[in-house]
Amino acid sequence: MANKRLPMRKIKEVLRLKYESHQSNRVIGRSLVLSRPAVAQCLKRAQEAGLAWPLPADITESELESRLFPPATAAPADGRHLPDCEYIYNELRDFKRLNLTLMQLWIEYKEQHQDTGYQYTQFCEYYRRWRKSLDYCMRQEHKGGEKLFVDYGDGLYIVNQMTGELILTQLFVAVWGASNYTYAEASLSQELPNWIGAHVRAFGYFGCASHVLVPDNLKSGVSRVCYYEPEINRTYGDMATHYGNVILPARPYRPRDKAKVEVGVLIAKRWILAVLRHRTFFSLEELNISIRELLERLNARLLRKMKKSRWELFETLDRPNARKLPDHPYEYAEWLRPRVHIDYCVEIKEHYYSVPYRLIHERLDARVTAHIVEIFHKGSRVAGHVRSYVRYGHTILEEHRPPKHRKYGEWSQERFVAWAAKTGPATAALVERIMISRGNPEMGFRACLGILSRLEKSYGSPRVEAAAVRALKFNTCSYQSMRAILAKGLDKQQAGAPAQQQSLPFHENIRGGEYYH
């Protein structure tokens, strides 16, 4: 009786049987299925409250309860100081991160009330009775087609056939709010590609999309957890936009916000994973085929109270009110934040893509799918490329180059040879040999440009042609060699004449040509 209150109707019946029928406590207890101490305690409380039978005609059950069970905040008769339960509750909640305990709060309480405070056991018992009065929850009402709850739970193991290693899978579960219609699949992780892919396959399984998605606060769905304004992962938001969903993450540390899917995970484990627990799977595909078979059985089972299956309720409640699927399923896309290098390219997945040269040093937004790369600046699309998987290759559009680079980009091997032919056949042959010798013709463009532009402008076409003849004869085909020939006037010598030798000063270490005869 001290720990559990009797219903008011039973208390009234105890008083009636005692004072009107004059029955003993034993008979009253047997009649009302109560113990004799409980009957005695009830009569004692009525006597202390000054209640007599018959009760006043205008007294309500609330008034009767308040007189029989006065508020616990009233000071006890023995003069002890009651714990401030509201203060204890707020301290435990606000300082949860510090692992604050009831023991620490009791020590502080006893320091203030050394002689009149309760001992630890009674202190905890008093607080727990008070705390139970706050343990209430609001029953959620779900409209048809409105909410789809999604979450992960631990799945079964698959075996790596090469190493024998056991790999733990993750079980993705999606549950409709109104009908409890369920989708489940196994994935290797909870990372973003698996998270998005599971949603796409779930919508395909349902054949429609919900108006609202209610995920947990895992990193793949929520980039920054906040009680009031959680920040949605951009890729997840992109997917939700494609299907017309609104994302309303559950509040952190509030599992009742997503009780549907919490129960859905338990049911999926009970009716799917538990059935497969003794089977061995060697691939994710093999495991998901078995999960799909049992999933159909789960959705076809009759609910005990509703006398209908989840599928029947889904067809009646959720499907008629859900959103239609778009023409094409969502294509997974990642959002990146690359910076533009001085060569007006951004690095995305180990490949370089060009953007307009005026955006050098800017931080841009890049949307990357399996087939395309789209680049945005302040929300405006500034570049689009076909996705390339060549590591550290370059994809550059001519319109992205500055004017000077664009002009240089127009050069080709054939154009340089044609230009050099205007100077002479030797110059044309020299230019062609320079580009061939470099492996890649573009690596010789600068050398050829220096010969045909700078050297020809300084020394004239006839001398450049003569220098080319000499360079080809001695196989010194380079810009530096041509510049040296022209600077020393070697192009003016006849091809067969020996070069004039310079006299050397006498020295004992200089042997001379006679030494070698």
Residue 246: CATH number of its domain: 3.30.420.10
Task: Please give the structure tokens belonging to residue 246.
Answer: 């609104």
Q: CB under 8 Å to 149, separation ≥6 — which residues?
A: 174, 175, 176, 177, 214, 258, 260, 261, 264
User: Strand 365-368 vs strand 166-176: parallel, antiparallel, or unpaired?
Assistant: unpaired
Q: Which one, of 155, 147, 221, 222, lies nearest residue 185 by Cα?
A: 155
∠ CA 163-167-170 to the nearest 5 degrees? Answer: 160
Sign, CA dihedral 290-291-293-297, equals positive
How far is residue 514 from each of residues 59, 435, 517, measured CA to CA in Å? 142, 42, 5
**Residue 196 CB neighbour total at 10 angstroms:** 22
How many angstroms separate the CA atoms of 102 and 100, rounded? 7
How far apart (Å, rounded) are the C-alpha atoms in residues 102 and 124?
7
Statement to judge: residues 179 and 307 lie in one domain: yes
CA distance 237 to 335: 11
480 and 357 in a common domain: no
Burial category of 268 from C-beta neighbours within 10 Å (exposed 0-12, middle 13-18, buried 19 and up): buried
Whether residue 78 is contained in a domain is answered as no
Question: What does the alpha-carbon distance between residue 19 and residue 3 come to, in Å, rounded to a whole number?
Answer: 25
Q: Which pLDDT tens digit goes with each residue over 275-321?
A: 998 899 999 999 999 999 999 999 999 987 778 899 998 998 889 99
Both 444 and 457 in one domain: the answer is yes
Q: How high is the pLDDT of residue 168?
A: 93
Residue at token pair 């076909």: 386
Residues in the chain: 517
**Residue 3 is assigned to a structural domain of this protein:** no
Q: Are 491 and 465 in contact (CB under 8 A)?
A: no
Give CA–CA dist 210/193, Å, rounded.
Answer: 21
Residue 50 backbone class (left: φ over 0; alpha: ψ -120 to 50; beta: rest):
left
Domain identity same for 295 and 266: yes
Residue 2: its pLDDT value, please? Answer: 43
- Domain assignment of residue 216, given as a range: 147-321
The angle subtended at Cα 486 by Cα 483 and Cα 491, nearest 5°, is 135
What does the DSSP assignment read for 70-112?
--TTSPPTT-PBPP-HHHHHHHHHHTGGGT--HHHHHHHHHHH
For the chain, helix, strand, coil in percent to 5 are: 45, 15, 40
Choosing from 68, 100, 116, the residue where a domain stops is 68
Q: Is residue 27 part of a domain?
A: yes
What pLDDT score does 74 carry?
47
Domain-embedded: residue 311:
yes
Pair of tokens at residue 101: 């305990």
Going by the DSSP 8-state scheme, the letter that residue 356 receives in this structure is -
| Three-state helix/strand/coil letters over 285-344 | HHHHHHHHHHHHHHHHCECCCCCCEHHHHHHHHHHHHCECCCCCCCCCCEEECCECCCCC
DSSP letters, 262-290, are HHHHHHHIIIIITTTTT---SSHHHHHHH
In a domain, 74, yes or no: no
pLDDT value, residue 407: 58
Element housing 366 (H / E): strand 365-368
Last residue of a domain, one of 295, 321, 347: 321
Per the structure, the count of domains in the chain is: 5
Does one domain contain both 169 and 295?
A: yes
Judgement on whether residues 276 and 191 belong to the same structural domain of the protein: yes
Q: Strand runs (DSSP E) across 117-161, as ranges?
A: 147-159
313 and 425 fall within a common domain: no
- Domain assignment present for 290: yes
351 beta partners: 348
- Domain co-membership, 302 together with 399: no
The pLDDT score that the predictor gives to residue 227 is 38
Would residue 242 count as lying in a domain? yes
Extract the tokens encoding 377. Answer: 């600046």
Same domain, 229 and 242: yes
Residue spans of the chain under pLDDT 70: 1-5, 70-79, 93-94, 96-97, 133-141, 217-231, 250-261, 404-411, 439-443, 494-517
Residue 503: inside a domain, yes or no?
no
Residues 445 and 480 in one domain: yes
180 and 303, same structural domain?
Answer: yes
Check if the beta carbon of residue 351 is closer than 8 Å to that of residue 393: yes
Are 440 and 461 in a shared domain?
A: yes
Q: Comparing C-alpha atoms, which of 399, 403, 394, 356 is closest to residue 375?
A: 356
Tokens of 277: 């627990």
**For the segment 354-387, what is each residue's pLDDT rounded down to a tens digit?**
999 899 889 999 988 878 899 999 888 999 999 8
306 contacts: CB under 8 Å, gap ≥ 6: 313
Question: Could you say which of 321, 356, 379 is where a domain stops?
Answer: 321
The residue whose two tokens read 């305990």 is 101
Do β-strands 345-348 and 334-336 pair in parallel, antiparallel, or remain unpaired?
A: unpaired
